[in-house]
Amino acid sequence: MLKKTLRAAAWLAAILAVLAICAYLYARGFGLDAATPADPLATPEGLAYLKNSVPAKRGRVLAVVSSAPRFPGTQKKAGYELTELSRAYYVFQANGYEVDIASPAGGQPAARIDDDDMRDVDYAFLNDAAARRKLADTLPLARVDPSNYAAVYFVGGKGAMFDFPGNADINRIARAVAERGVVGAVCHGPAALLDVTLANGRPLVAGKRMTGFSNDEELFLMKDARARFPFLLEDRARERGARFEAGPKFVDTTVVDGRLVTGQNPWSTWSVAEAMVAALGHRPVARERTPEEHSVRMLAAYYQGGLSAARAERVARFDPSLVLLHALVAAMQWRVADAFQLQRLARG
């Protein structure tokens, strides 16, 4: 009996070893090990597109981050998304705008940093002494004079769902900027806009095309989101009369309605910031797209026109891991055809 058990265990170990080798060889086919890792020592001086910064000083942009470090009454982390701040920060800076950082409470807010999401630009921000000084002592919103700013940009992160809505200073600042400048927000950041009213008493978003973190995205990541958040962003936007536009999950979707610019998720950060620059009347500084952005474009083309359309968008420098992530999401939702096609797209 013991010999049979040992023999069975040996066969099982051999089968698992073969499967592991096959999985490794299959994964190598996607070139994941060839991807250039992000450099934790990156600096702003090394960012190519900052070398093309416009020499003119065009004004100031106020970036607003959440002061809520956790979900109320729990230890679950909230805060703001660092990548949604850092990438927009340098877009504004390259296009001639100095960026001030503010938060409801002022001081140093809690950032959410996921190593898997970090790229050179994000590490450059962390290694930027001037940016770090601003983050260490953000302006309290109560002290902000909106007349100093051409635009206001609300950074996402789950904390925004708790201390942005109903904030009197956000209402004051967004209303004043909306009258003459540009209002932008990304991911959960549009929660700041939902209770803002204009001078005529009308909600800022009423009748406006906008987007934000969609119900599909929220409920996919957090099944009990309706219980954990005071509301879902998409639901509340529609209640306020917004013409909410939700794109495919986890793909760049940026909506521009006049001087209101909103992005659906973290992958919309670059396009939101550049659309804000355009809404301010300037052509954004040329910037080489990141491998992640190329992957997002491929995915958007896939969801719109299928595999052939996605392959038409393919370039040498793309991030196959992001495409594979979408394949995994499709498999988890039993969208077998999409899962199969997306892994083909990631492979080539």
Show me where the domains of the chain are located. Answer: 44-279, 289-348
Helices and strands in the chain: count of H runs, count of E runs = 13, 11
Q: What is the pLDDT of residue 296?
A: 93
Q: What is the pLDDT of residue 5?
A: 40
Q: What is the H or E stretch that residue 270 is in?
A: helix 269-279
**Sign of the torsion formed by the C-alpha atoms of 34, 40, 46 and 48:** positive
Mean pLDDT of 220-231: 95
Span between the terminal Cα atoms of the chain, in Å = 50
SS3 138: strand
- C-alpha to C-alpha distance for 29 and 26, rounded to whole angstroms: 5
Query: Does 44-279 carry CATH code 3.90.79.10?
Result: no
Residue 35 pLDDT class (50, 70, 90 cuts): low
Angle formed at CA 126 by CA 96 and CA 289, multiple of 5 degrees? 55
CA 348 to chain centre: 26
**Confidence (pLDDT) at 19:** 32
Question: Residue 14 has what pLDDT?
Answer: 38
Task: Please write the tens of the pLDDT for every residue from 320-330.
Answer: 989 999 998 88
Question: How far is residue 159 CA from its own chain's centroid?
Answer: 14
Looking at residue 291, its amino acid is P
Q: Tell me the range of 1-5, 102-106, 301-305, 339-343 where mean pLDDT is highest.
A: 102-106
